[in-house]
Amino acid sequence: MLTRFAITLLLSIMLPAVLFAAEQAAAPGMVIRADAMSHDLASDIVKADGTVEMTWQDMIMTADRATFNRTTQTLTATGNVYLLKAGDILWGDQLVMDTETGRAEMENGRIFMTQGNFRADGKQIARLGESDYALRNGGLTTCDAAVPSWKFGASELDVSLEEYATGRNVVFYVKDIPVFYFPYIILPVKRERQSGLLFPKFGNSSKRGVFVDIPFYWAISESQEATIDLDVQTKRGVGLGVDYRYLRSRTSEGSAGGYLIYDNNEKKERGQLVQFHKEQFSDSFNLITSLNLTSDRTFLQDYAEKSGEYNRQYYDSRIVLTKFWDQWLTSAQAIYTQDFYSSSNTTTLQRAPELSLYGVREQIPGIPRLYLDLDLMLTNYYREKGLDGKRMVLAPRLTTTQELFDGRLNLSLSGGLQLRGYDTDNAVGTGIKEDQLVAVPEAGAQLSSAFSRLYDIKLLDLERLRHELVPTLSFLYVGDKDQSTAPDFDHLDRMNAQQTVTLSLVNHIGGRIAKQGGTAEYRNLLTLRLLQSYSLSGTRSNLLTLTDDSRRWGDLTLESETWLHRHFRLLADARYSHYAHRIASTAAGFEYNNARGTTGRISYRMADRQLEYLEAGATIALTNPVHLAYTTRYSFDKQDFLESNYTLEYRHQCWSVIVGYQERPNNRTWTVNFNLAGLFGIGTGSATGYRAPTP
């Protein structure tokens, strides 16, 4: 027994530590497992062969063969090498790694990063840190396929996960086909915002020709960002847009931007300047400024993309300072208006300053149920050419409310006076008095009640109905006062004398809807309001005309909102003329939304046969990856489409493409927008609607 023990001890000292165990602790916290391992004591190198697995810290490495230098803490692995860390995988033919610093080099390697689904490959890959990699003769994509739908190939590519990738001699591939070449490129590889080039937006327009937008996103700081857009148009020229956004604090935010182009067609500089800022000094005190200026009155017609922008009538720029109290509000503002329908803005009325004070339902001390409402406004109107001046409006009102017959009836009485004072300039030859005071009395009464009833019902998921009926009888009196010698600055300068009685009947229907699990949902199903007025004397304002004394009956008005289903909503506003025996005006609409990507809407508007307008739109999820959207606006009075937009979107696992086509009078435009998952979106939208991103 002793002899056998001595032989064993001698062999363990003299032989080069031939290890028959399949597991070895190579260093503190490090374990190597393999089919066979040996340890050279002289060089302090551990060799492992056959199904090698090495674990240390939060890393796992597998390979066919590996050596580990315990002195330098260097790992060398060859053959099907895989390095796994927190879900990220680096694999290739040969790995050399400093296990203390984590720096490594891989030959013919590939990377998979779970955050963002990033995949990269390279003839040589260097791991420089926790999330930093350098690739030579490699590529980057977020697609899962063996042949990716897209990738960026580069001779040199440096990737910082959750930051950005920079590359030299970069080629963008669709499948294996090279499409674009970039000498140098910066790509955000971060789900959070990160500075970098956004992918270009391409298109063609009959007004602007072939165009390409090249946007750059700049993450200035955690509270500031900007988008700078280079806009190249073959027919118009080269434009530059800037969109800057900031958040100074929870109570201070804003944006500023603009667009500038030398228009080759117009042979002049054209552009737009926009700005917005909100400063909330306290819960009841704030400042808002907004700026909307264009170089000329047709700029939006040529460059606006957003619906409702290209044909808008005017732009307002203003600064508003507002202070609130419990029952009072005061404000000071200045407003500059740019009228695009006017041949010259010199005749457009501007307001600066305008001071206002409003009091809402302030109870009169010592008198129960008697309330004071007060409107006070001082405005300075000015323009370069034409009538202008100053106006003061003082409109106090007293209101009292009473409950009659144990609350079955509610009575409201009000009386007030609108007092307007003018100091008019440039009134010679206009028939307008320079200085005058106009006082118009007004009074009103309203009597209303409410009746309700519950019904148990079993219809589909409907369990109970609640019907509420609210009849209201009201009277409005406005004194007869000649106002023809007063300037007509806005709607406050003309009050129609009238004595009008109005009867309205409002129906509310709500339902209790049963849901799975024994819970219930209460939903409004129908609101229906019927209104009829009768004029005892005077004139009344109608939508487009005035109703005179001989036509005492007002239009019969029907307003409704109906939920046919939780996905269907029907809106209607119709006015019937007793004298023309026809619908005088109507606004009706239908909306559908299944909450799964399919929506639809259609609305129709008509006013006294002078304005007739149809708007419709739909988004359809044709299949899971394909989505179609369509919007149109048609004018019956002009007998032409004002605008039609077609959008087809294809959504892939790692990319999407949006193809758009737009038709407007005298202009047709198509665009192509891309989105590469995990990197950037292509063709960022603009809030003001023209091509360059703006606030």
For 237-286, the pLDDT digits (tens) are 999 999 999 998 888 999 999 999 999 999 999 999 999 999 999 989 99
Using alpha carbons only, how large is the chain's radius of gyration in Å? 37
How high is the pLDDT of residue 683? 33
Lowest mean pLDDT across 9-18, 349-358, 361-370, 671-680:
9-18
- pLDDT of 12 higher than 80: no
Interval 79-84 mean pLDDT: 90
Lowest mean pLDDT across 245-259, 531-545, 569-583, 662-676:
531-545
- pLDDT of 123 higher than 80: yes
Select the highest-mean-pLDDT range: 124-128, 399-403, 661-665. Answer: 399-403
- pLDDT of 471 higher than 90: yes
How high is the pLDDT of residue 13? 38
How high is the pLDDT of residue 306? 62
221-247 core/surface letters (b: 16 or more CB in 10 A; e: else): eeeebbbbbebbbeebbebebbbbbbe
- pLDDT of 54 higher than 80: yes
Select the highest-mean-pLDDT range: 44-58, 406-420, 620-634. Answer: 406-420
Interval 113-135 mean pLDDT: 83
Angle ∠(214,219,221) on CA atoms, nearest 5: 160
- pLDDT of 564 higher than 90: no
Read off the DSSP letter of residue 55: E
Q: Please give the Cα distance from 170 to 528 (Å, whole number).
A: 63
Distance of CA 45 to the CA centre of its chain: 61
Interval 561-566 mean pLDDT: 82
**DSSP letter for each residue of 521-552:** EEEEEEEEEEEEEEEEEE-EE-SSSEE-TT--
Give me the amino acid identity at 63.
Answer: A
Lowest mean pLDDT across 189-198, 249-258, 628-637:
189-198
How high is the pLDDT of residue 25? 62
Interval 592-608 mean pLDDT: 86
Interval 74-87 mean pLDDT: 88
How high is the pLDDT of residue 691? 35
How high is the pLDDT of residue 23? 64
- pLDDT of 187 higher than 80: no
Interval 43-67 mean pLDDT: 87
Longest dimension (CA), the chain: 136
How high is the pLDDT of residue 8? 40
- pLDDT of 22 higher than 80: no
- pLDDT of 535 higher than 60: yes
pLDDT in tens, 280-308: 999 899 999 999 999 998 898 888 876 56
pLDDT in tens, 366-398: 888 899 999 999 999 999 999 999 999 999 999
pLDDT in tens, 569-593: 899 999 998 888 888 889 999 999 8
Please give the residue that has the higher pLDDT: either 32 or 395. Answer: 395
The pLDDT-based confidence of 559 (bands split at 50, 70, 90) is very high
How high is the pLDDT of residue 474? 97
How high is the pLDDT of residue 461? 75
Work out the mean pLDDT of the chain and round it to a whole number.
84
Interval 616-636 mean pLDDT: 87
How high is the pLDDT of residue 192? 57
How high is the pLDDT of residue 10? 38
Q: Please give the Cα distance from 234 to 209 (Å, whole number).
A: 5
Q: Please give the Cα distance from 165 to 159 (Å, whole number).
A: 4
* CA dist list (Å): 534 to 448, 555, 586, 633: 18, 9, 20, 36
Token pair 């937006």: residue: 201
Do residues 603 and 592 make contact, with C-beta atoms less than 8 angstroms apart?
Answer: no
Measured in degrees and rounded to the nearest 5, phi and psi for residue 6 equal -65, -40
How high is the pLDDT of residue 244? 94
- pLDDT of 478 higher than 50: yes
